[in-house]
Structure 1
Amino acid sequence: MRRRLIQSTLAVVLVVIAVFGVSLVIVETRTISNSAQERVDSEAIRLAGIVDSRLFAAEDVTGEILRDQVAQERYAVIRIPGKDPIEVGTRLSGEVISSTQEGEEGETVTVQEPRSSVTREVGRTLLIIGLVALLAVIAAVLLAIRQANKLASPLTDLAETAERLGSGDPRPRHKRYGVPELDRVADVLDSSAERIARMLTAERRLAADASHQLRTPLTALSMRLEEITLTDDPDTVKEEANVALTQVERLTDVVERLLTNSRDPRAGNAVTFDLDEVIQQQLAEWRPAYRSAGRAIVSSGKRHLTAVGTPGAVAQVLAALIENSLMHGGGTVALRTRVTGNQAVIEVTDEGPGVPADLGARIFERTISGRNSTGIGLAVARDLAEADGGRLEMLQAQPPVFGLFLSRTPLRSSLVDDDEPMVR
Structure 2
Amino acid sequence: MTPRPVSSSLSSSAPASDPARSSQMAGVVQLGGRGVPITPGAGLYTARVAWRHSLRFRLALVYTLVALALISVIGLGVITLLLRQMDAQFDARLNERADTLAEAYVGSRQTLGKASGPAGGYTMLIGQDGQVIAASPSLRDYEKSPFPFENQEQVNIQDTPVRAVTRKVGDFGTLWVGLPTDALVDARVSAGRALALALLVTPVLMLLIGLWVGRRALTGLGRAAALADQIDPTHSVATLPLPAREDEVHRLLTAINRLLVRIDAGQAREKQLLGQIVHELGAPLTVLRASLARATERTADPEVVRAALVADELTFTTQDLMQLARGQLELKLAWHFIPSRTLQGRLDRLVPGTVFEGDWTGSLLCDPDRLTQAIRNLLANGRRAAGPEGRVVITLTETPETITFRVCDTGPGLPAELGDQIFEPFVSGSGSSGLGLSVSRQIALMHGGTLTASTQRASGAEFVLTIPGAALGDDEDEVGEG
Instruction: Give the shorter-chain TM-score range.
Output: 0.3 to 0.5
- Structure of greater relative contact order (alpha carbons < 8 Å, 6+ residues apart): 2
Q: Which is helix-richer, 1 or 2?
A: 1
Normalised TM-score (structure 1): 0.40
Normalised TM-score (structure 2): 0.36
